[in-house]
Copies of this chain bind each other. A is one copy, B any other.
Amino acid sequence: MLDSTDMRILEELSNNSRITMKELGEKVHLTGQAAADRVAKLEDYGVIEGYTIKINQNKLGYFIHAFITVFTESISHQPYLTFINTQEQYIINNYKISGDGCYLLECKFPSHETLNKFLEDFNKHANYKLSIVIKNGSTTF
């Protein structure tokens, strides 16, 4: 379905999604139009789900990046899910997982105070285990 040129296009767009089609074409040895056609196909096929930006959360005042392993107390997860829907500003991802815990909640907080307050409210609906990110050794793509 995808050839190596498509993979290179995905790589280039991962690095800079605002690149012009002309430039992208040069990088993968195609004309701008051919590159644009390829990209349109990747969109149609659904490999490219969207175009977005990387935001530096520290610069927005979110200094704490945390993962919370969630253990819901009751049989129903609904109270927990309802609660976190009211906490959108702090939530990055809520992964339903198998293994230890029901959910893995990725979140961000401006301060220990806000985190503490969040956990107090949180604990009314579920138990948890907290992991704070010290360093992000992220890879590309």
Q: Which of B54, B100, B139 contacts A131 (CB 8 A)?
A: B100
Assuming A50-B54, A53-B52, A138-B94, is B16 touching A45 (CB within 8 A)? no
Interface of A is mostly: strand
Q: Which of B52, B60, B94, B134 contacts A54 (CB 8 A)?
A: B52
Q: Is A101 an interface residue (CB 8 A)?
A: yes
Q: Which of B45, B50, B53, B92 contacts A10 (CB 8 A)?
A: B53
In order of increasing CB-CB distance, the 9 nearest A-B pairs are A99-B131, A49-B54, A96-B135, A17-B51, A94-B137, A97-B131, A18-B51, A96-B134, A50-B54
Interface CB pairs A-B, < 8 A, 24: A10-B53, A13-B53, A15-B52, A17-B17, A18-B51, A46-B59, A47-B55, A47-B56, A47-B59, A49-B55, A67-B104, A69-B131, A92-B138, A94-B139, A95-B131, A95-B137, A96-B135, A97-B133, A99-B130, A99-B131, A99-B132, A100-B131, A101-B131, A104-B133
A97-B132, A97-B133 are known contacts; what are 13 more A-B pairs with Cβ within 8 Å? A2-B60, A16-B52, A17-B18, A46-B59, A48-B55, A51-B52, A67-B97, A93-B136, A93-B139, A94-B139, A95-B137, A96-B136, A97-B131
| Residues in A lying within 8 Å of B, measured CB to CB | 2, 10, 13-18, 45-56, 59-60, 67, 69, 88, 91-101, 104, 129-139, 141
